[in-house]
Every structure is written in structure tokens, then in C-alpha cells.
Amino acid sequence: MLVSSVISAQDLTIGFGSNLFIENGTVFNLNGMRLEPTVNYDLIGPNTISVSATPIDAQSINRVYDFTSPLSGYQGDFVFSYEDAELNSVPEANLVLVVKDVSGSWNGVASALNTTLNTLSYSFSSPTDIYGASASDDTVLSLSDFEDIGLQIYPNPVESIVVIDYKNAIEVEVCNQLGQSIFKTKNKSIDVSNLNNGVYLLLITDLKMNKKTIRKITKK
């Protein structure tokens, strides 16, 4: 099945031996979940994609997408829409996109929040398996994603060097507020002196535990 325009539906079921072909440059919209692949992409069955109002936990909103099989090797833009009534007391300004991995863990990504359109968007630059999607409070996400709460970032605001104090080896992806990657490093002392003043996102991966968290810093 070739998708060449916007499609909207409540749920989607793809049978065994079937597939849904989404051409590069087109938009696939499933009840507020929008896929905009940057390469031709096949949704391969059997798979059922549905949305529920049962939150992941108390820090998550009342909109969760479940897939019986992963979106395997997805590459491109992923846009998550929500309604104000689904916020579940989570401050809208704190929302971050979370996706489920093969282990069943929910990991935050450095998504771009648009409170006018009620969307969270993220661009998967490399093929990624996505087992589910929702939105959570980014100020508490790190407590459940990291092995412990021993992560410290200072100074913040920062003028030149920001230090990440954490016991395990890490990889840090520095992103702008749109979620666009600026650079990556495995250093725990990061020179941000060349960045313009403003707010940035640090997507931090614990390389030992393969867990992620997002923290905000302000460059002054």
C-alpha cells in the first residue's frame, strides 16, 4: 500500500504478510502520531498500532501509542500530538517525547515542544526501532532513566565550560531547543563558549547502562 498523502485513522492493523509503504517526503498521520520518513519506509505486518488514555506513570500524559511490533528501523521526523485535557497535571512546558525500547524502558529524546500546536517532534537521524511513544515530565524523567540520581551539571547558567559529574562513562549530544543536534562528545567537561546565548538540551547517555536522560542548560 503506497501512502502519498495524509492519512488519518483511529487504529491501524497490518496483517501477516502485508505492509504499508510510506514514500520519502510524504506524511502518515495516525490519530495524532505523524510519521515523515526521510527514506522510503515499510510498516511490515503483523502489527497493530493503537492509542490509549492510560499513562505510563504519574509523570506521563494520558496518551500512549502501543505497537504490537516495533516501527523497525524508522528514520525521519516523528511528531506526537496531544490535547490539553490529556496533560494529567504534567506542566506543559516540561513535556518531552518518550519512546519505548526493546527492553520495555521508556527513554526521553531531545524533542522540540510547540505549545501552540500541542506537538512534540524529533528527527531520528539513524534507523531506530520504536516500540511505543508517549510524553512525560522531563524534570523527573532522569530519576527513572538513570541508574541513580548522582548526576550533577554545573555551572548552570554557564559561560564557557559545563561539567557533568557522573560515575559512569557517558555520551552527550548537545541540541538546540528545536531538538536539532549541534555536536556530540564523550567528555564530561564540555566547552560551550562558541554557542550563542540561550537554552540548550543535553541528551546524556549512560554508556554502561544504555540509559538516557535530558537536561537543560542556559548559555550566557
Q: What is the pLDDT of residue 166?
A: 85
Residue 76 near residue 130, CB atoms below 8 Å: no
> Band of the pLDDT at 1, cuts 50, 70, 90?
very low
**How many other CB atoms sit within 10 Å of the CB of residue 198?**
11
Q: What percent of the chain has pLDDT over 90?
A: 41
Q: What's the pTM?
A: 0.62
Q: What is the pLDDT of residue 187?
A: 96
DSSP state letter for 56: S
Q: Using CA atoms, how far apart are residues 171 and 39, in angstroms rounded to an integer?
A: 27
DSSP state letter for 158: B
Q: Using CA atoms, how far apart are residues 4 and 40, in angstroms rounded to an integer?
A: 11
Which has more pLDDT, 205 or 171?
A: 171
Which has more pLDDT, 87 or 31?
A: 87
Q: Residue type for 189, please?
A: S
Summarize pLDDT for 147-191 with one digit per residue, the tens: 444 677 889 899 999 999 888 899 999 988 767 889 999 999 999
Cβ partners under 8 Å of residue 137, min gap 6: 59, 60, 90, 91, 94, 95, 96
What element of type H or E holds 3? strand 2-3
Summarize pLDDT for 127-158 with one digit per residue, the tens: 888 889 999 988 765 433 444 446 778 898 99
Task: Give DSSP secondary structure letters for 88-138.
Answer: TT--GGGEEEEEE-TTS-EEE--PEEETTTTEEEEEEEEEEEEEEEEEEEH
